Structure 1
């Protein structure tokens, strides 16, 4: 099981590096979308918690 996890981790790392090298603009767009999603989720969570206090 540990060997399969190690192989899967390396496969993901290689895929990410390949994607960044072959299409850096697209990779940057995907990172931006990810951070935007995280930002919106954090803002919604903060709003929810603020409304619970009121």
Structure 2
């Protein structure tokens, strides 16, 4: 099982590097979308916690 996880991780790394090398603009866009999603989720959690306190 550990061997399968290693192989999957290596494949993921190779895919990410391939994407960055072949299309850096698209890769940057995907990173931006990811960070926006994380930011939106964090804001939602913050609003939820604030509503619990009030």
Q: Structure 2 stretches of 5 or more lacking a match?
A: none
Aligned to 1:50: 50
Structure 1 unpaired stretches of 5+ = none
The count of corresponding residues between Structure 1 and Structure 2 is 54
Aligned alpha-carbon RMSD (Å): 0.6
Question: Structure 2 length as normaliser, TM-score?
Answer: 0.95
Regions of 4+ moved over 3 Å: none
Deviation at 1:46, TM superposition (A): 0.3
